[in-house]
Amino acid sequence: MYICETIRIKTTMKKLLFLGFIASAFLVGCGSDDAEPVKKPAGEIKAPTTYTQKALIEYFSGAWCPFCPDGKVFFERIENENPEGLISSVVYHLGDDMDNSYDDAIDSKYSKGYPTGMVNRVGGEGKSRTTWSATAKEVLAQTAKCGLAIDATKNTSGNLNVKVKLGIGAEDLPAGNYTLTVLLVEDEMVGEGTGFDQKNAYNGQAGHPYAGKGDPIKGYVHTNVNRTVLTEALGDKISNDKLVAGTISEFEYSYNVSGLGKDLDVVAFIHESTSNLANPALSSSLIYNVQRTKIGTDKPFD
């Protein structure tokens, strides 16, 4: 009898210990409301489904070009007509002290005169400045299918590290040839001599913003000047797996900016270009979206 009772007690204690262990494991697993949330692996993080549609005006200029100050006038007018941050520009120079090899590549492919330009590369070639405003409105009226984020905070002794994220929205992007271009753009540049002094056809034109400013204009402020490209001149190809709905892809670039100005922005855009020589009407050219931020800042998806 005594032996049986002892066995029962030992068995009961083992059951209690087992149940206590299960309860402890349950509490640790569940945690309290203040417990650290479990994070998804990076591969499971989904891109935002909606983005702000933005427009980029790329136009061609040169200090030697007497009509080019009017390109700046048209851009600034369009910029002021739209909410802040929706419109930006990059200016590609030819034949002056701001010219570079990337500008030359873009000039040879898209330029149709000075100061012609493109809004999100609609049409695939430079257009008259009188068309920019209407095209910008059409672009901004579209629903953005993708977006970009830029982290340009890491700048150690002039060695800039740029991380660009591409996020695809709720649907796959249409089939096409996509590229990512990342530029360093200087907000304002002023220099001396023929490579910077701006020829001015409007010096004697009453009512024009550059009337009476001289010809050439000495100390002219050149704005949104492209300084260099961090990708290939015509962009780095984006593989099809990065164009799938919900995908976030990251691209990283480095550049020593010590020899450039202090007022630099990073401009990134995704471009689709498909040439159909048999039926040119089926050719396409479009910047799907653009993002811009100053060096030293982090611009998230928006």
pLDDT tens figures, 265-300: 999 999 999 877 677 776 789 999 999 999 999 999
| Residue 199 pLDDT | 98
pLDDT for the residue numbered 274: 85
Beta strand pairing call for 264-274 and 284-294: antiparallel
- Work out the number of other CB atoms within 10 angstroms of the CB of residue 144: 16
C-alpha distances in Å from residue 158, one per residue of 147, 188, 267, 296: 28, 19, 18, 11
At residue 262, the pLDDT reads 84
The CATH number given to 44-299 is 2.60.40.10
3-state SS record for 84-111: CCCEEEEEEECCCCCCCHHHHHHHHHHC
- Measured between alpha carbons, how far is 30 from 83 in angstroms, rounded to an integer? 47
The pLDDT assigned to 44 comes to: 59
Q: Which pLDDT score, from 0 to 100, does residue 95 have? A: 96
What the block records as the tokens of 292 is: 């811009």
User: What is the Cα–Cα distance from 197 to 190, expressed in whole angstroms?
Assistant: 9
What's the Cα-to-Cα distance from 223 to each of 73, 150, 185, rounded to whole Å?
A: 11, 21, 9
pLDDT of 11: 42
The sign of the dihedral angle between the CA atoms of 101, 183, 222, 122 is: positive
Q: Which two tokens stand for residue 255?
A: 């550049």
Q: pLDDT, tens digit, for every residue of 212-268?
A: 999 999 999 999 999 999 999 899 999 999 999 999 999 999 999 998 988 999 999
DSSP per residue over 3-28, as a string?
HHHHHHHHHHHHHHHHHHHHHHHHHH
Distance CA 182, CA 250 (A): 13
How do the domains of the chain map onto residue ranges? Answer: 44-299
Question: Which residues are registered as beta bridge partners of 193?
Answer: none
pTM for this one?
0.83
Give the separation between CA 162 and CA 65, rounded to whole angstroms: 34
* Core vs surface per residue 194-212: b (16+ CB within 10 A) or e: eebbbbbebbeeeebebee
The per-residue pLDDT for 29 is: 40
Using an 8 Å Cβ cutoff, are 184 and 277 in contact? no
What's residue 55's pLDDT? Answer: 98
**Strand, helix or coil at 217?**
strand
| Angle between helix 132-140 and 69-81 (nearest 10) | 30
Within the chain, which residues score under 70 in pLDDT?
1-44, 277, 282
